[in-house]
Amino acid sequence: MASEIVRAVREERAEYVITHRGKPVAMIVPLAGAPETEPATAGGWWARIEEIGRLMEEENPNAGSVLEQLFKDREDS
């Protein structure tokens, strides 16, 4: 039942009011700005990660690849 509610909130942007003894006490609502798309696939997540890496490299081209930045950050800490 709970997974059905979460799915409806995520996919249908449904909203639920939770009551206690007939009085509203909480709401389950979609997060503002959350995408109204189909659930992500593993391939979709990987494509998004690669896109973020390209954006990071574009913003700081002298820092090297994202992987090089990660190794440098680990060495520095």
Q: Are residues 21 and 46 located together in one domain of the fold?
A: no
Q: b or e along 4-33 (b: 16 or more beta carbons within 10 Å of the residue's beta carbon)? A: eeeeebbeeeeeeeeeeeeeeeeeeebeee
The answer on 53 and 21 residing in a single domain is no
Domain region containing 8? 1-36
Give me the pLDDT at residue 34, please.
63
Regarding whether 31 and 4 lie in a shared domain, the answer is yes
Same domain, yes or no, for 32 and 2?
yes
Domain count, the chain: 2
Is the domain of 30 the same as that of 15? yes
Which residues is 17 bridged to in the sheet? 27
Tell me the per-residue pLDDT of 10-68, one tens digit each, with 9 for 90 and over: 888 889 988 888 888 888 888 877 665 555 677 787 888 888 878 877 877 777 777 77
Q: Are residues 61 and 30 in the same domain?
A: no
